Amino acid sequence: MIKLYTSVEYCMPCSPRIYFLIYFASMKKRISTLVLLVLVFHQFLFANDSTKVVLKTFSPEPQHAMVYQLAGQILNSYHYQKLAIDDRLSENLLNEYLKNLDPSKVYFLKQDIENFSVFKHELDEDIMQGKVDRLFHIYNLYQNRVQERIQFTKELLQTTFEFTANDSFLTDREIANWPENFQAYDMLWKNKIKLELLQIKTGGKELKVCITDLNKRYDNLLKQMSKMKSEDVFSYFTNTLAEIADPHTNYFSPRMAEDFNTSMSLSLEGIGATLQTENEYTKIRDVVKGGPADRSKLVHANDKIVAVGQGKDGEMVNILDWRIDDVVSLIRGKKGTIVRLEIIQADASNNKTKIIEITRDKIVLEDQSAKGSIKEVTKNGKAVKVGVISLPTFYLDFAGMQKGDPNYKSTTRDVKKLLKQLTQDSGATSIIIDLRNNGGGSLQEAVELTGLFIKNGPVVQVREAMGNINAESDKDDKIFWDGPMAVLVNRFSASASEIFAAAIQDYKRGLILGEKTYGKGTVQNMLDLNQFLMVDGKKLGQMKITIAKFYRISGGSTQHKGVVPDIEFPSIFASKEYGEEASEYALPYDEIKPATFTVYNGNAVALTRLKLNHEYRMKGNAEYRYLNEDIESFNAAKNKKYTTLNELAYKAQSDIEDQKKKARDEERKKIKDQTKVEPNLILDEGVQILLETY
């Protein structure tokens, strides 16, 4: 994934060992862990009269053989689990490369796949010998197939379309097969284009306008395809090799390495959202708290972006099948300028779109700082104050600290100030640390923040590739807050967030509430390939590889399994779709020897009572009912195999969903008008649960 303000989650060194806590989501259905390049061809001549496209055939550059061989050696020698270069890897590499090129199985023919199968036990030898010709050959055929299908589409759009037959399209492309022959190939694309037209038409446009829009979509796709270079092809299949090691291991081409390093700046201008690629769509992974997208309240996690326009009246450019780095460039812009996004909301039926406006702004460290607030509630007839500290990331101004700046920013320093303000100044008698959507950051800060709530002791264990285990500990005997506390987490709490939450849970220092966390318990480091190899003075890029794993002080890894809350809420983001479990190549959960530590007062009987009371409250909670309804609808849509191509049936389904959404919005508004409070299910219930603990 890529952030519009930075490509990483605050890559912060920590003493005495340097651990880079870089968090990249890896999702089922081949969602990219860094940049999923939607591969395209490099040069073309394409006229509106559907004349033949002339393509450039890609071939490796002189350095590619050596860099590919070096990448294999690094994965075999330096990666945490030392990737075996054998026939099994060869077969996995071929399968994943084909899946990444054609995830929807709409470009390759079955015969193509059968022809490629002769390579399945030869690609491991190619890695060891630095041979890349076979993978370039596969790509070249792929681009020819893309060209054929776009040519077919341009011609098809000149014919007549009817939407009255009871036809359907297999939208669950994971269970689809590659077309058996050209007859099946053409029928697949006829239905695919018909569905795309129907999706646009349902938005209220005339068919003629829909056809024009779809022509523009493929013209824009071709325009993006023209930017493809040989280095991009090489980067794509080398990244496929890297991700077989694990989803957080990546190859950075020289261009991407430069972008990556530039994006370490925390003051880039954009909208403050994390993007990922899923099949042909660019998807909102999450929004940055305090950023322009968050402040707009118009865009949310899981929304899909289908077009981008500049200013209030700039042309909307369709971005389906675009490279994600090009999408980022289109959305990013100067502070104060407007970008318009055509989005499909996560809960929208039948891919109906709407256009929103967001004013770009700078995303700076201050926007990511901890924020404090007071929730005032009634307990036993008396007003009680609960302090809430929202923590978007674990940040540390490492440069400022090294320079001796007395006012350098850090998570722990800021939380200390907030704890004093909330408890001593405002009178809060309990504290909630909100880590929802916190993707990680500085390990040092995760350890020091834990130290504010415990006397001393280990916080996390780190197992290196050679088997050495080291504990990162709080050595300060002072406890800054010893009162009641809870930690809120969700599916997108990851890395350093999981370290903090796991330590609080293991010490039984506070309650963990919310959703099961992401499960990112690995450590990455960056390697400059020019340190290993020089080729005519060229920049060769970098590799990010996994070098260690995190373990709880109780012995279990945070990897894969994540942190399971003491009181768990249902989540619309299923573990098999979102999180470490979504990748078949994620490192597994395992355990090591527990560290020595002293548990605080834990009461299993009290926890049982808290769960029963929580379940009772949820039975009458409207927001909880909405959540379960959303999960049911989301799962129904996800499990839907086919989409109708009959316009009346398609529109009827869309209208039903629209009516449900409208009724929900009206009911929610009525409740809000009565209570005068914006509902926040997990936080509101977290406050009630915390109050019952004392």
Active site residues: 495, 506, 520
Q: Which residues contact 70 (CB under 8 A, 6 or more apart)?
A: 529, 532, 533, 540
Q: How many CA atoms lie within 13 A of 581 on its CB side?
A: 16
Report the DSSP beta bridge partners of residue 3. Answer: 274
Q: What does DSSP assign to residue 587?
A: P
Lookup: tokens for 395: 């940040």
CA distances from 624 to 582, 650, 667 (A): 26, 30, 13
In this structure, how many other beta carbons lie within 10 angstroms of the beta carbon of residue 429? 16
Q: In whole angstroms, give the CA distance from residue 252 to residue 317.
A: 28
Q: Is 38 exposed, middle or buried (0-12, 13-18, 19+ CB in 10 A)?
A: buried
Report the DSSP beta bridge partners of residue 379. Answer: 382
Q: In whole angstroms, give the CA distance from residue 461 to residue 86.
A: 32
Q: In whole angstroms, give the CA distance from residue 142 to residue 97.
A: 11
CA distances from 694 to 380, 384, 642 (A): 12, 12, 52
DSSP string, 613-628: HHHHHHHT-HHHHHHH
Q: Residue with structure tokens 């355990």?
A: 591
Q: Which residues contact 469 (CB under 8 A, 6 or more apart)?
A: 461, 462, 463, 551, 592, 593
Lookup: tokens for 389: 């500290």
Q: φ and ψ at 273, to 5 degrees?
A: -145, 150
Buried b (16+ CB within 10 A) or exposed e, 524-559: bebbebbeeeebeeeebbbbbbbbbbbbbbbebbbb
Q: What does DSSP assign to residue 306?
A: E
Please calculate the CA angle 554-522-539 and round it to the nearest 5 degrees: 160
Q: In whole angstroms, give the CA distance from residue 210 to residue 187.
A: 20
Q: Where are the alpha helices (DSSP H) in 420-474?
A: 443-451
Q: Would you say 27 and 276 are in contact if contact means Cβ atoms under 8 Å apart? A: yes
Q: Would you say 119 and 94 are in contact if contact means Cβ atoms under 8 Å apart? A: yes
3-state secondary structure (DSSP) of residue 525: strand
Q: In whole angstroms, give the CA distance from residue 396 to residue 494.
A: 17
